Chains A and B, each alone.
Chain A
Amino acid sequence: MKLRLLLFLSFFVLKTFSQDKFSISGYVKDTKNGESLIGATVYKLGSNVGASANEYGFFSLTLPKGEHIIAVSLIGYKTFTFSVNLDKNIIKNYELAEEGKQLDEVIITGEAEDKNIKSTEMGTTKLDIKQINKIPALFGEVDVVRAIQMLPGVTTVGEGASGFNVRGGNIDQNLILLDEAPVYSSSHLFGFFSVFNPDAVKDVKLIKGGIPSQYGGRVSSILDVRMKEGNSKKLSVNGGIGLPVFSRLSIEGPIAKDKASFIIAGRRSYIDALVKPFVKSTNPIKNAVFYFYDLTAKVNWRINDKNTVFASGYLGRDAFGAPGFKFNWGNTTGTLRWNHIFNNKLFMNTTAIYSNYDYLLDFKQESNNQQFNWTSQIINYSLKNDFSFYANSKNTIRFGAQALFYDFLPYNATGKFENTTIKFKADKRYGIEYSAYMGNEHKIRPRLTMEYGLRVSVYNYIGKGTAYTFGDTLSNEELPLKSSKKYENGQVMKAYVNPEPRLSVNYVINSFSSIKASYNRMAQYLQLISNTAASTPLDVYTLATNNLKPLLADQGSVGYFRNFKDNMFETSVEVYYKYLQNQLDYIDNANLFINPTVENQLVQGLGRAYGAEFYVKKNKGKLTGWISYTLSKTERLVNGISNDKWFFSRYDRTHCLNTVLTYELTKRWSVSTNFVLLSGTPATFPNSKISIQNLNIPYNTTGTRNNYRIPAYHRLDLGATYNFKKNETRKFKQNIVISVYNAYNRRNAYSVYFRTKQGSTFETEAVRFSVIGSIVPALTYNFNF
């Protein structure tokens, strides 16, 4: 049925074909390293007829028969102009050369200068890795996710919290894609660093609103991270040595010039190795293990003009340990892609994806033969097909389909004590999500562009497994198990179907301002189970089941975009309203770990989030950067919690101010600064204490959740970069980055909790817990040749 609808839509569009028009198509690449240039624009000079290169650098532009002057441009690159007599379809690749060094230093966006005005994208930010490199970072380590947290509408509950919150969404509501493979844990070291190695990242795009139909599966945002293909012209090495945390090294180069290339990039922390010589042999740190590493690799092979294949992979792990104790976790992803150009108008990408997240926890005591270990795992296998059909200069149609298989092991635990072994193993849980989409970017009038589309997702909770049925009880109580039914392999235990309409409209007022509006519905078939303030690596996801409905979100947003001074300043104001259904919450004292019937500990409720985001960005000049301010509110309504009234969510922050500025002092020196000012997150504080069995238990007689806020968060970071004089013959580039995180040593509260004063029977106190309680200086040396 859905397929037929897609076909019908395709024919409807095909009809608009015109025979006296021809197209010019191909890839846009970088002259220097052969990397495809995402978002490069190809347009007829002096008109607003143009096309932009897709995520593989492919474009197709349809024009009437005849003589045209065509320009290929991308900010930071010299515009390439050529004239063409279009009497047949042309397929050709174009290479752009980077602009001179001087300009390169001050350009901080990789897009056409006025793309923010003309495209239908809203709530979307593309971060260039060069730009991220300049932001002063914790421990001097350039970080994609922490850079994203400086954008309007994006927050985190604090340092040490994994992931990020977008427009009032929980961290599990962000689809994080690394070369199209979903990444389940985006953090190393409990959120201090992201898993993305900046040396291997080409392009980062965050979509908060107006999410196009090709994306689905999470309700709040898409973080689309694209890896570099690897230099296809010459061998190149990038590296960095950081004090005190870790080092990076990447090598990229051609396998066959302009035909095939590779990149391999690795990082490892060595703080453990650095610390050990300085501690006494009796110190527990001496025998402790704590490190993380990641390895990112990609190869591509251009078979011919019409076919290119890519293979990319990621492997990362965090490990902690002490004698008798081991804890580690990590992601593994693999992507195989095939780009195929059917003809000058139809581009196809086929992707096979593998993604794995697992953790292991192990306690062992040799002396009395005791052991307890615990693992959990989530695996995804997926196959997807995406088509870009450049129907004509007015319509660009994208359509495709995906099948995504979830293979979950909630837990597998073994306890051993002398001769007794106890095993707890949950049944694996399986789900399969099918989706098909079609969207059209339609230039209706010269000033009016609409992108409309529909995604339909079908989810099946499948066997082999057990479906539990629970009886009713009072709200906020554990549901009694009524019955359970076993299902065989592949048998459908529960099915859900969700149509997800998407719409974005852009009305260009003039060459420097536009108004945009968007609506999207998103469906999500898995959610993170975590009732801790921050997500931990131990948290497990749960699939939608016969008891847990899929999470749904509707979001509408409106924005005004205006550029000043010949696109030197970009400004925007966006307002959004988001409504969520079936968001997970927990009954009081929920037992979420090693519990086969964990569903009866969960409740589902409503969420709403709304806000206004203000953004000013300076793209050119010696001073570049942005200031963003967000005013927002995020609430939940869950039966049985907080007196059945709306309450603030844990990640609600009324005011968020982020300032990121970089100043080019001289040709060699640049300095940068961040300033962050955020309202404190809500927290539940007691108004009483009750004494039972000599325990002074905090109690909140009003029953209102999140009735207080912890103190406001503010922080200043400073950074300076010194670029050494370039050795022209060897092309050896090097720089030193000095950074100071939390420059005025603020002890920002991560949480406030209440306890009995040590040594006292009745006296109680409030304790502020700060994850970063000092100034954190760092030094990083980077090189490239």
Chain B
Amino acid sequence: MKNIIKLLFFTTGLFFLSSCEDVIQIKLDEGAKLYVIDAFVNDLRTNQTIRVVSSDNYFSNREAPPVSNAQVILKDLTANVQYNFTYTSNGNYVFPLTNADTIARINHQYELNVTIDGYVYSSLSLQKRTAVLDSISAVYNDGTAGFGPPSPFYNCFLWARDKADDNPDYYWIKTSRNDTLFDKPGDLNTAIDGTGGVVTNAGVDTLDFTPPAIFLGFQNYRSGDKCKVEIHSISRETNNFLFQAVAQIQNGGLFATTPENVRTNISTPEGAKTKAVGWFNMATVVSKIKIIP
């Protein structure tokens, strides 16, 4: 839905020829320090990273201050197994994985415990199933419809299918071109069942993925490019969180929404002086790569 509004306002915005945006200097207060826990773990057989940092002044021009003294433990409550993540650098806590194993399993319930200065910050996540990924198709475009001189390119489309039943499934479609992940706010692409995130709470179960979920990175590709897509299973709450975060970052224009703090699913223990915010999600991932002909 929010994608549509964005497109709409972009289009109508064309006509407000007189409107303008400029960067201004504002003095902002300093906020109390928060711990920020960024825990998106998946079943890919690569190193899994959980990031623990501090919040920073809004205008500070540096990487988030790392928290290096935390103890990060991921518990598989279903299998009763515990994984200890070890600190490497820049706030990253890593569980190294070889090609042989995964720590994330479908339908398992996980608990994340981050201990800092004796206080245990925790969160729960149930790992959901993901969609069936059939293929990526590349469609040739002669480029004459766009701006400027014609320049041929390809659009990539995702062919994927949701699993039919009454439970809504939420997916995060992450696309990269030549190993560069599209991770800007405008690149966020999620799907609810197959509906492309357009309609939430719709009470329908769509099988084939429909637009805009099928647009890979909303980007153009050229001959020889590598387009890679991953479909991550996420919870409904994670889907809402991602949309909320993006809405806060792209809150310009005539129809900006009331700014609000993003929700968190990390709970702060009683008595802790420093509050934690952040997000924990366990994902099942399917992936495909296409080299553009």
A320 x B245 contact (CB < 8 A): no
Determine if B11 is an interface residue (Cβ-Cβ < 8 Å): yes
B261 x A700 contact (CB < 8 A): yes
A762 to B183, CA, bound (A): 13
**Residue ID in chain B nearest A536 by CB atoms:** B255
Determine if B180 is an interface residue (Cβ-Cβ < 8 Å): no
B28 x A685 contact (CB < 8 A): yes
Contact partners of B204 in chain A: CB under 8 A: 422, 424
A686 to B241, CA, bound (A): 18
Shortest Cβ gap from A619 to chain B (Å): 35
Contact partners of A766 in chain B: CB under 8 A: 23-26, 59
Contact partners of B242 in chain A: CB under 8 A: 693
**Known: A417-B210, A689-B55, A697-B245. Contact between A532 and B19, CB under 8 A?**
no
**Total contacts A to B, CB within 8 angstroms?**
265
Contact partners of B244 in chain A: CB under 8 A: 588-589
Closest 7 CB pairs of A and B: A773-B20, A687-B31, A688-B31, A701-B31, A589-B244, A417-B210, A684-B259
A361 x B38 contact (CB < 8 A): no
B255 x A762 contact (CB < 8 A): no
A59 to B16, CA, bound (A): 49
B21 x A768 contact (CB < 8 A): yes
**Residue ID in chain A nearest B150 by CB atoms:** A282
A695 x B210 contact (CB < 8 A): no
A532 x B257 contact (CB < 8 A): yes
**Residue ID in chain B nearest A707 by CB atoms:** B29
B256 x A533 contact (CB < 8 A): yes
**Residue ID in chain A nearest B203 by CB atoms:** A596
Near A by CB (< 8 A), chain B positions 247-280 give 247-263, 275, 277-279
- With beta carbons under 8 angstroms apart, the residue of A325, A413, A770 that contacts B21 is A770
A754 x B202 contact (CB < 8 A): no
Binding site for A on B (CB under 8 A): 1, 4-5, 7-8, 11-12, 14-16, 18-26, 28-32, 34, 36, 38, 40, 53, 55-64, 146-148, 183, 185, 195, 198-204, 206-208, 210-211, 240-263, 275, 277-279
Contact partners of A361 in chain B: CB under 8 A: 4, 8
Given contacts A282-B147, A687-B57, 5 further A-B contacts (CB under 8 A): A285-B14, A320-B11, A688-B30, A701-B275, A766-B24
Near B by CB (< 8 A), chain A positions 389-412 give none
**Residue ID in chain A nearest B62 by CB atoms:** A762
Near B by CB (< 8 A), chain A positions 742-785 give 747, 749-756, 760-774, 776
- Encode contact with B along A28-72: 1 for CB under 8 Å, 0 otherwise: 000000000000000000000000000000000000000000000
- With beta carbons under 8 angstroms apart, the residue of A160, A688, A761, A773 that contacts B57 is A688
27 contacts between A and B (CB under 8 A): A284-B14, A290-B15, A320-B15, A413-B199, A415-B199, A422-B195, A533-B258, A534-B255, A536-B254, A589-B244, A589-B247, A591-B200, A591-B201, A593-B1, A683-B259, A687-B28, A688-B31, A690-B34, A690-B36, A692-B38, A693-B242, A695-B183, A695-B185, A700-B31, A701-B275, A752-B26, A753-B259
A698 x B58 contact (CB < 8 A): yes
Determine if A288 is an interface residue (Cβ-Cβ < 8 Å): yes
A700 to B14, CA, bound (A): 32
Residue of A361, A685, A695, A771 with highest tally of chain B CB at under 10 A:
A695
Determine if A372 is an interface residue (Cβ-Cβ < 8 Å): yes
**Known: A282-B148, A372-B4, A766-B23. Contact between A693 and B208, CB under 8 A?**
no
Determine if A466 is an interface residue (Cβ-Cβ < 8 Å): no
Determine if A327 is an interface residue (Cβ-Cβ < 8 Å): yes
A271 to B279, CA, bound (A): 48
Shortest Cβ gap from B125 to chain A (Å): 15
Shortest Cβ gap from B142 to chain A (Å): 12
**Known: A588-B244, A694-B183. Contact between A685 and B255, CB under 8 A?**
no
**Known: A290-B15, A701-B32. Contact between A415 and B210, CB under 8 A?**
yes
**Residue ID in chain A nearest B141 by CB atoms:** A367
Contact partners of A761 in chain B: CB under 8 A: 63
Shortest Cβ gap from B247 to chain A (Å): 8
Shortest Cβ gap from A143 to chain B (Å): 17
B254 x A531 contact (CB < 8 A): no
A532 to B250, CA, bound (A): 13
A261 to B121, CA, bound (A): 77
A697 to B250, CA, bound (A): 10
**Residue ID in chain A nearest B201 by CB atoms:** A595
A702 to B259, CA, bound (A): 13
- With beta carbons under 8 angstroms apart, the residue of B55, B210, B262 that contacts A701 is B55
**Known: A424-B199, A687-B30, A692-B278. Contact between A588 and B260, CB under 8 A?**
yes
B245 x A695 contact (CB < 8 A): yes
Contact partners of B146 in chain A: CB under 8 A: 282
A686 to B30, CA, bound (A): 9
Determine if A487 is an interface residue (Cβ-Cβ < 8 Å): no
Contact partners of B58 in chain A: CB under 8 A: 686-689, 698, 754, 764
A695 to B38, CA, bound (A): 11
Determine if A208 is an interface residue (Cβ-Cβ < 8 Å): no
A654 to B242, CA, bound (A): 36
Residue of B63, B251, B258 with highest tally of chain A CB at under 10 A:
B258
A679 to B53, CA, bound (A): 38
A597 to B21, CA, bound (A): 37
A639 to B207, CA, bound (A): 40
